[in-house]
Structure 1
Amino acid sequence: MSTDTTGPTDAIRPAIAGVVASDRLLIALDFDGTLAPLEDEPMDARMLPAAREAVDAAVAAPNTLVALVSGRSLSDLRVIAEHLDDSPLLLAGSHGAEFWIPGEGVVTHDDDPGDAALRDELRAHAEQATADLDGVWIEPKRFGFGVHTRKSTAADAAEANLRVDALVEAEAPHWRRRTGHNIVEYAFRHEGKDSAVAELRARTEASAVLFAGDDVTDEDALKSLGENDLGVHVGSGPTAATLTVADIPAMAELLAVLAAERSAVREEKPSGERPAARQ
C-alpha cells in the first residue's frame, strides 16, 4: 500500500528516513510527468525550475548519485534534460537499452542489423496506417517507435492503436509493447526500467535506491525495489510505490528535503569521498 506524503515537509521526513541514512544512495527519476510537465509536443518538455533546483541539490549531496531513467531515446533525453557532456547526471534512455555514464559517455548493447531494418519498415507501415487519423503522430525511436495520440480524439486514438497493434502482431509479434500517457510504444529490445535501475545500481555500487515515476512503465522499476529502497509515485492511481506525492512540485519538495537531510547527516558523520559511477 502506498502512503500519501502530499502534506508538509514534516510529513516527508519520516517517510524518507531510511534512504537518508543509506551509505551510498542512487536517486533514479523518470522525466516526463515526474520532473517535467507532459507536453503536446514531446520535445518541448523541460524540468520545472523547482525540480531542476532539487535535482541539483541532490547531485550536490554527499554520497548521492542521480540518474534520469526514461523511455525517451538517449539523444532526445539529453536534449530535454539539457544534459551536457560534463553533467554529473547518469542517464538511462529507451527504457534502459542505452546509457550515459559521466566520464565514459554513451554505453549501449550491440544490436542485430536486421532489427534496425525491421524497425524502419514497421515504422513506415505505421505511418501509412495512421496517416488519415488527425492528431496521431509516429515518433521514431532507436529501438522501435511510439504512437502518440495526445492531440487526437478518443475515437481516433483507439483506432490508431488498433491498427498498429494488428500491424506489429502480424510483422513483429516478438516485439515488446508498452503503454503510457497517450502513447503506445513498440520495441525490439526488451529492457525495462527495472533492468535500467538494476544496471545503474551495479554501476554505482549503491547501497539503496530511490526511484520515482508517474506512469505505467515506471511500475516495472517500482516493483523491483528491495527492502532498503524507496519507491515514489507521482500523481494518482494504483501503484507499487510505498509513497505517493501529488504532483511535480511535491516531488521537487521531497527531493529538496532528502538532499538537505543527507547533507546534514553527512556533516554529523563524515564518510569518505563522494562516489563516482563505476567504469
Structure 2
Amino acid sequence: MTDPLAAIARTPRLLVALDFDGTLSPLVDEPMTARMAPEARTAVAALLATPATSVSFVSGRTLEHLRVIAEHDDTSAVLLAGSHGAEYWTPRSVRAPKTTGTADADALALRDALRAEAESAIADIEGAWVEAKEFGFGVHSRLVDPAQADQVHGRVDRLVAARAPGWRRRVGHNITEFSFRAEGKDTAVRLLREATEATGVLFAGDDVTDEDAIAALGPEDVGVKVGAGPTAAQIRVDDIAGLAALLLSLAHLRDADRE
C-alpha cells in the first residue's frame, strides 16, 4: 500500500494548507491570545524552506484576527485564507485568489442587527458571548456551564433561522458560526491551489468545518485529521505535536527527493 505522505512529498508543486486553532495552536479561552505552538512553528519554517512548497493557514477567523494570532506580517511567505475562504492575503510573488460574493449595505445591516439580537438572547447565560466576524458572527459556549451550552446555541439557531434562513451555519468546538457568505474551507483550498499552481495539496485540521476541505481533496492529495472524531482524512494524528512531527517528516522527505 502506498504511503500517502511519501507520495505527496514527490508532487512537483506542493501546497500545505493548515487550519490554525486546534491544529497549530492550542484552543484557548480567550481567542485572541492563541499563538502557534513552538513545534508547529518549527515545522512550518521547515516546509517553507523546501523547494516548490507553499504553506497557507486556512481559518474561520477574520483575516485581520488571523494575522494577529499567527503573528503574520507583510514579509511572511505564508498565504492566509480567513473567514472560511472569503478573505485572502498572499505575498507579492503569488497572485491573489479571486473571491466571489459581495457585502452590500443590506447584508451588513442585517449582520449588525442579528449580532445585537444574539447578544441579547444569551445575555443571561454566564460565559456565553458573541464574536463579531466580517460576514456574520460566532456564538461561543466554551466558558458556559455544559448543562446550558445547548441552550446557548439553540436560542441563536432559532433567531437566525427566523431572520436569515439563507445564511450558512457551521458548528465547531464550542462555537456555532453564521455567515451571509457561502464559502467554506473547500473553497479556500480550491482557490489557493489555483493561486499557487499546486500539483498536490496536504490539508490538516481538527474541527468539523475542516471536513469540508478534506472531503473535497483530490485522489492525489492528502487529508490529515488532528485529534478524535469522524473524518474522511487518510491520516490521523493525536494532537498538535503529532501534526508537527508529520509536517517535519514531510519536509525531510521533500528535501530528500530533490537531493
Q: Counterparts of 1:44-59 in structure 2 under 5 Å?
A: 44-59=33-48
1:80 maps onto 2:57 in alignment: no
Q: Give the unaligned 5+ runs of structure 2.
A: none
For residue 35 of structure 1, what is the aligned residue in structure 2?
A: 24
Q: Verify: 1:167 aligned to 2:159, yes or no.
A: yes
Shift of 1:111: 1.9
Contact 1:101-1:107 within 8 A present in 2 as well? no
Separation in structure 2 between the aligned mates of residue 98 and residue 134 of structure 1, nearest angstrom = 32
Length, aligned pairs only: 256
Alpha-carbon distance in structure 2 between the residues aligned to 1:155 and 1:108: 40
Other-structure match for 1:277: none
Aligned match of 1:236: 228
Correspondence for 1:271? none
Q: 2:15 aligns with which of 8, 16, 26?
A: 26
Query: How far, CA to CA, are the matches of 2:177 and 2:72 in structure 1?
Result: 24
Q: Deviation of residue 113 (structure 1)?
A: 1.8
Q: Which runs of 4+ in 1 moved over 4 A?
A: 104-109
Whether the 8 Å contact between 2:97 and 2:192 is mirrored in structure 1 is no
Pair 1:113 & 2:108 matched: no
Offset of residue 157 of structure 1: 1.4
Could you tell me how far apart the structure 1 residues matched to 2:97 and 2:195 are?
14
Letter of the structure 2 residue corresponding to residue 95 of structure 1: H
Please give the alpha-carbon distance, in whole angstroms, between the structure 2 residues aligned to 1:97 and 1:50: 29
Q: Distance in 1 between matches of 2:3 and 2:62?
A: 36
Q: Which amino acid in the other structure matches residue 180 of structure 1? A: G
1:223 to 202, 215, 225: 215
Output the TM-score relative to the length of structure 1.
0.89
Residue 209 of structure 2 aligns to a residue whose secondary structure is: helix
Aligned to 1:245: 237
- In the TM superposition, residue 237 of structure 1 has moved relative to its aligned partner by 1.5
Aligned position for 1:99? 88
CA distance in 2, matches of 1:106, 1:156: 41
Report SS of the residue matched to 1:209. Answer: strand
The question of whether the paired residues in 2 share the 8 Å contact of 1:98 and 1:107 is answered with no
Counterpart of 2:250 in structure 1 is 258
| TM-score, with structure 2 as normaliser | 0.96
